[in-house]
Structure 1
Amino acid sequence: MLGLESSCDESAAAILRRHPDGRIEVLADLVLGQTEAHAPFGGVVPEIAARAHAEAMDGLAAAALDKAGLSLDALDAVAATSGPGLIGGVMAALMTAKGLALGAGKPLIAVNHLEGHALSPRLSEKLDFPYLLLLVSGGHTQLLIAEAVGVYHRLGSTLDDAAGEAFDKTAKVLGLGFPGGPALERCAEAGDADRFDLPTPLKGKPGCDFSFAGLKTAARQIWDGLDAPSAQDKADLAASVQAAIATALASRTRRAMKQFAGDYPDVATPRPLVVAGGVAANRAVRGALEAAAAQEGFRLIAPPMKWCTDNAAMIALAGLERLVRGETDGLDAPARARWPLDAASAKLAPVIGSGRKGPKA
């Protein structure tokens, strides 16, 4: 399976082989970032990203085939991210995949980028369904039960900003550069996480939803209120924000673990808690989740760091999972800016709201 990814600011191509026993072998895994192009703007510029993806995708696909020592004829199918994401970027991988599939006479699999993240731990270890999933990235913060490939039940989602957005926007306020999340984590290493009193999002509120907009605003107000802030002030605030986000994620996930344990009493302990998405690479977040999981009788499972952020290996894996079930797509598969992983819940009870293009979350 050739997988292509271009939903945000990383162009990626990967080739995976699925063996008869279900074992996954990664034959090629290439990622081309755009950090230098977006750094002057402090964030991803959709037009710049789309142009870079369009220029890179065919070359990356060819390079992946070359690295794997394969021709297009050797593939069983071609998979690509079909959404959600920046629509100009999504189109680059999807249209490249359509061209390759049509030219080589191979099936096309249009993959939900979020499902790629949801399945990503299965790249490196055996993981049976069902499992509890915390999907946490720059655009998404959701708690779901993964019952099977394509079957997800949402327990909670963000009411406003995603955790990754709170990291990135706070990093921008502090002038830490781009990409913001990793920069804030590095800055926080020298900081005192107990110095600043930040609000606990949704403290005491029932349910498994998240909220990070208030925390982000509080951090900005503290920063603006400092007189000639020093490097230590910056490190302390970065550490405080990071700790608050990690605590909020662990607290709400603890509620979901209790619900999962009640709904699936037959799942043996330690039960699986999967964390996926770019924020899963943050060590403070992982530490807080590991502690909460151990207390609730769960085991934290995360993909290796290189497969936490956007990559094509997870897209190829999602394509393989669907191909073995006989699920393929036509060449009219649309590029989608919005594509909730649990579409039924999003349509019936959208957390943020629904617009002309469908449910936002």
Structure 2
Amino acid sequence: MLMLSKTAGAIPRPPRSNVRGFIRRFNVQPRALFHHKLVLGIETSCDDTAAAVVDETGNVLGEALHSQTEVHLKTGGIVPPVAQQLHRENIQRIVEEALSASGVSPSDLSAIATTIKPGLALSLGVGLSFSVQLVNQFKKPFIPIHHMEAHALTIRLTHKVGFPFLVLLISGGHCLLALVQSVSDFLLLGKSLDIAPGDMLDKVARRLSLIKHPECSTMSGGKAIEHLAKEGNRFHFTINPPMQNAKNCDFSFTGLQHVTDKLITHKEKEEGIEKGQILSSAADIAAAVQHATACHLAKRTHRAILFCQQKNLLSPANAVLVVSGGVASNLYIRRALEIVANATQCTLLCPPPRLCTDNGIMIAWNGIERLRAGLGILHDVEDIRYEPKCPLGIDISREVAEAAIKVPRLKMTL
């Protein structure tokens, strides 16, 4: 659940004694001869503190991650000041672990890449301030990273994918469709007009009190919905996908959340239970809302593919659809997108689940991509700022809507 500020932010003062201690431990001569460029990636855009070292051939030399999921499950959502404090407490250790695992000293690095946009302002500030001190101490180039660009390009680390390709990024904080034309050239076809699908599924899970369910108590909301839906029958409830008459590639999930909330309230009265207790029909509701979400994502993605093919933006012979972000690990949603890919003769590719969620590897890899292309490499970080809100690429969603492409009905047998 992202709560984003509207303005770019100055770098907060970090606990300098900790960083200095870190610097003293690593302020040594290179310990090995590395023949490839090396980038340290640092990620703190939301609630995961992550770091990794990746070389220019795509080898992950070392990585580390601290997840805050368990803390935020107890509060029912991400509390930005809590996330900030946890980042502060863990960033030094995580970066040290990634460097130690890789056998790389900061002196060996070709550059340091860090997420600076978009994300939680307080979280972004922690990663940026720590990175700036490392950059200044070790005199390394700095590569500011757009979080969604990193998600989109991760597939090029795990698969041989050339440009252009279509990407659907779906997570707890983001939902967008974009055509990736190069490392830094994106055409935005559509985005969520309100909340992200992962946020909606988390809210439905909280409304169903799934944290009290014995099988779901340690799961995030989205994972709990997916798990419980396997036991449910989606046909027991009718929850229609949103925006069925809008011929664009934008998304909306707030209405879906409200409809589901009303259904839960109705079932609570019908079953005679208080809010906060587990409904006997919880699995059926989970299945119905998951199916509606999958169908909504599938239809907008189908239209995006047809638009790109109509405008000759994707090659008919080897068109690729990439799906990434935390929600991409939902196998039910992935199967719906496979149906779309097969119908449009596209190849569907997804990074491994651990690279779909936030991680340091994708940030380091994005740094490698930019380093090789000579894009966005800074040698002066004095004026660098984080940006809690930042669009991805050039927005052509109006052109997509004007094309008013009718999407053929597909049988979603999932």
Same fold (TM over 0.5): yes
CA distance in 2, matches of 1:241, 1:111: 34
Note if contact 1:43-1:179 (Cα within 8 Å) is conserved in structure 2.
no
2:384 is aligned with what amino acid? A
Note if contact 1:12-1:32 (Cα within 8 Å) is conserved in structure 2.
yes
Partner of 1:97: 131
Note if contact 2:190-2:250 (Cα within 8 Å) is conserved in structure 1.
yes
Further displaced range: 261-270 or 129-138: 261-270
What TM-score results when the alignment is normalised by the length of structure 2? 0.80
Give ranges in structure 1 of 5+ residues lacking alignment. Answer: 352-361
Note if contact 1:199-1:218 (Cα within 8 Å) is conserved in structure 2.
no
Give ranges in structure 2 of 5+ residues lacking alignment. Answer: 1-38, 212-218, 402-414
Partner of 1:30: 64
Change in Cα spacing, 1:25 to 1:341, as seen in structure 2 (3 Å) is same
Q: How does 1:132-151 map to 2 (within 5 A)?
A: 132-151=166-185
Matched residue count:
345
Partner of 1:334: 385
Partner of 1:122: 156
Query: What displacement does 1:179 show?
Result: 1.9
CA distance in 2, matches of 1:247, 1:135: 16
Over residues 19-72 of structure 1, what are the superposed CA-to-partner deviations in whole Å (9 max), with x where a residue is unaligned?
Answer: 3xxxx1111121110122212211111110001001111111111110001111
Give SS of 1:338's match. coil
Query: What displacement does 1:232 show?
Result: 4.0
Q: Does 1:11 align with 2:49?
A: yes
Note if contact 1:190-1:232 (Cα within 8 Å) is conserved in structure 2.
no
Partner of 1:356: none
Q: How does 1:304-319 map to 2 (within 5 A)?
A: 304-319=352-367
Note if contact 2:249-2:301 (Cα within 8 Å) is conserved in structure 1.
yes
Partner of 1:203: 244
Q: Percent identity?
A: 37
CA distance in 1, matches of 2:315, 2:351: 21
Q: How does 1:1-361 map to 2 (within 5 A)?
A: 1-19=39-57, 24-177=58-211, 179-226=220-267, 227-228=270-271, 231-264=279-312, 267-327=315-375, 328-329=377-378, 330-331=380-381, 332-342=383-393, 344-345=394-395
Give SS of 2:231's match. coil
The ranges of structure 1 where at least 4 consecutive aligned residues each deviate by more than 2 angstroms after the TM superposition are 227-232, 263-266, 344-349
Query: What displacement does 1:301 show?
Result: 0.8
1:285 is aligned with what amino acid? I
Change in Cα spacing, 1:254 to 1:347, as seen in structure 2 (3 Å) is closer
CA RMSD of aligned residues (A): 1.9
Note if contact 2:63-2:102 (Cα within 8 Å) is conserved in structure 1.
no
Change in Cα spacing, 1:34 to 1:256, as seen in structure 2 (3 Å) is same
1:43 is aligned with what amino acid? G
Over residues 116-160 of structure 1, what are the superposed CA-to-partner deviations in whole Å (9 max), with x where a residue is unaligned?
Answer: 111111121111000011111111111111111111011111121
2:328 is aligned with what amino acid? A
